[in-house]
Amino acid sequence: MSSTLEIAIFLSMNGNAKEAIHFYKKHLNAEELLLVTYQDLATRGSSIQITDENKDRISHSVLLIGRTKVMVAEDTMNTSEEYTIGNNTSLCIQSADLEEIEHFYHSLVTDDRVKVIVPLSNNLFSKAYGIIEDPFGIQIQLMFDDRLQ
């Protein structure tokens, strides 16, 4: 296992990400490490349609609470699902070791009880990013992140 492997908690806030970030900063002394709006994402070449309603919504953020990273965004991992308490939390497994992320993904999908939500692939922010749902209903994001080196 690589020395860059980490697991972060990912919270989907159903349109309340800014409010949640402010809450965690105020009450838990969270430090904002990253904040990306949908408008920011669109400037990087995303296919997201920007409107007055969504341009300032949070696509992704990373807070540091103590030594734990908490990621906060507006939407759930599987946007085809209606938001409910329970599908608003996932684990994000990240590593600067691309082979490690690929190994985890390929190992997970060999279990026929695992549901692939987003196949592991190259995208705007990672050389390898995918989302699965394990047999217990836990959604797991797998992401290569060379910034962890």
* Average pLDDT of the residues in 6-11: 91
Given this model, what pLDDT does residue 148 score?
A: 85
Give long-range contacts, CB 8 A cutoff, 24+ apart: 131-137.
131/77, 131/78, 131/90, 132/105, 132/108, 133/78, 134/108, 135/111, 137/86
State if pTM tops 0.75. Answer: no
Instruction: Round to whole Å and give the CA distance between 54 and 43.
Output: 14
pLDDT band at 14 (very low <50, low <70, confident <90, very high): confident
Percent of the chain residues past pLDDT 90, beyond the cut: 52
Q: Where are the domains of the chain?
A: 5-144
The CATH topology of domain 5-144 is 2,3-Dihydroxybiphenyl 1,2-Dioxygenase; domain 1 (3.10.180)
pLDDT digits (tens, 9 = 90+) for 50-98: 889 888 999 999 999 888 999 999 887 777 878 777 678 888 999 999 9
